[in-house]
Each structure stands twice: as C-alpha cells, then as structure tokens.
Amino acid sequence: MLRVLGRLTSINVRKVTWALDEMGVPFERDDWGKPLRDPNVPEFLALNPNGQVPVLIDDGFVLWESTAILRYLAGKHGSALWPADARERALVDQWMTWQATDLGPSWGYIVPALLRGTPPEPDPERLAAAGAAWTTKMLVVERHLAGSGGFVANGRFSLADIVVALSTHRWQSVPFDKPPLPAAERHLAAMLARPAGKAALDAATP
C-alpha cells in the first residue's frame, strides 16, 4: 500500500494526506519528524537526504518534496485536482509553486517563534518584519480570492485550493496583529466544509 512518511503537524504532510483523501486513494502514514521521530537517521536519510517530511513510497518508488508528490499522485490517478488542459494545469501549478517558494518562507521565523517557542525569546524586530512580510503575501491571496469566484484556479477545486487553504489556516492560527482577510476566510470556510478539508484543517494542526 502507498505510504506517507511524516507527522500531521507538518503543513506539507497535510497537503499530501488531504489530496489523497480527496482522491479516495488508500494509504498508510508513519510518524516521522521531530519531536515524534527524528528523521536525521540513516534509515530515513536513505529515502530523503534532506531529512525532511513528507516522503512518499509507492510500490518501491520513493519521492520527496510535497508539491512534486502532489503532481505525481494527481497525475497518476487521473484526478481533476490536476487539470488535463495545459493552461488550466499551469494556473494550478503557478499557485502551488508560489505557495512553496514565496508564501511559505514568509512565515519561516514567526511560526516557530509564536507557535513552538523557538527561539524562546524571539527578537521583536524580527517578529515585526516577519509579520509584515507574511501579511504582504497573504494580501496577494486576499486580492486574488476576492475576484476568483471562490476557488484559487479555473473556478473549481484543485490542488491549488489545498495549499492555499492550509496557508490561510496557519495564518489564522498564529497570534499576531494582522488585518482581516474576508475573501481568504470565506475560502477557508468552504474548504472546511469538505470532509477531507475538515480533517486537514484541524485546530490542533496549525
């Protein structure tokens, strides 16, 4: 059976498990990642030399990097989450890539500091700068969703909605001074109405 290695507190692991649940693909998940199980051991590093989760194992085929895993799974299973039309697929890919390379890194200091206590005494100036950078990226999401018809790309649910909703969920979970984002909040509420989305957007997994 398909295996996913990674802890559910990882937003990147939940990208994969949510997509699998949406596609109805059965899988097993093994807890890896600190503090549950340190991936920096030979057993795990043989699968992913970066020591990061998630890792996918599909009948001996090993793949890491969450967005690559999403593309592989949706392509393999012929899912509408990854459109067949080249332009529609490119729009989904655009938002997935942007979330991974621009939006996600913008919370790199503030999330560990305010959710995990790492570092235990964060630098106020760095926190303020990180909050401002994250807000700038989330305003891109807000402006787009305000005119997109309720979905991130092509007017229907796709992998792009998964990665953006998980990001908005994290945004709402971190306690800092931030502006209201009504369009992003409506989108998140719609994603929470999906059974697979509700499982991935739990309050215990910001």
Could you tell me how many residues make up the chain? 206
Provide the edge-to-edge strand list for the sheet that holds 28-30.
28-30, 3-5, 55-58, 61-64
The two structure tokens encoding residue 20: 């699998």
Residue 56 and residue 91 share a domain: no
Residue 117 lies in a domain: yes
pLDDT tens-place string over residues 112-131:
999 989 999 999 999 999 99
**Is residue 133 predicted with pLDDT exceeding 90?**
yes
Q: Which of 76, 100, 124 is the last residue of a domain?
A: 76
Bridge-based pairing state of the strands 28-30 and 61-64? unpaired
Question: Are residue 53 and residue 145 in the same domain, yes or no?
Answer: no
Question: Element (H or E) spanning 63, and its range?
Answer: strand 61-64
Residues 72 and 138 in one domain: no
List, in order, residues 6 or more apart from 173 with CB less than 8 Å away: 115, 203, 206
Model pTM above 0.85: yes
91 and 51 in a common domain = no
Answer whether 32's CB lies under 8 Å from 39's CB. Answer: yes
Over residues 36-74, the pLDDT tens digits come to 899 999 999 999 999 999 999 999 999 999 999 999 999
What is the distance between the alpha carbons of residues 163 and 100, in angstroms, rounded to a whole number?
A: 9
Q: Do 92 and 68 share a structural domain? A: no
Q: And the tokens for 103?
A: 């939006």
Alpha helix segments (H runs only) across 36-158: 42-45, 66-76, 86-98, 104-106, 110-115, 124-146
**Can you tell me the distance from the alpha carbon of 197 to that of 156, in angstroms, rounded to the nearest whole number?**
15
- Residue range 147-158: mean pLDDT, rounded: 97
Q: Is 188 found in the same domain as 90?
A: yes
Domain holding 187, by residue range, is: 86-199
Tell whether 108 and 50 lie within a shared domain: no
Give the total number of structural domains in the chain: 2
On whether both 24 and 103 belong to a single domain, the answer is no
* SS3 per-residue string spanning 120-145: CCCCHHHHHHHHHHHHHHHHHHHHHH
The DSSP code for 116 is: S
Percentage of the chain lying above the pLDDT 90 cut: 95
Burial 178-189 (b: 16+ CB within 10 A, else e): eeebebbeebbe
pLDDT category of residue 149 using cuts at 50, 70 and 90: very high
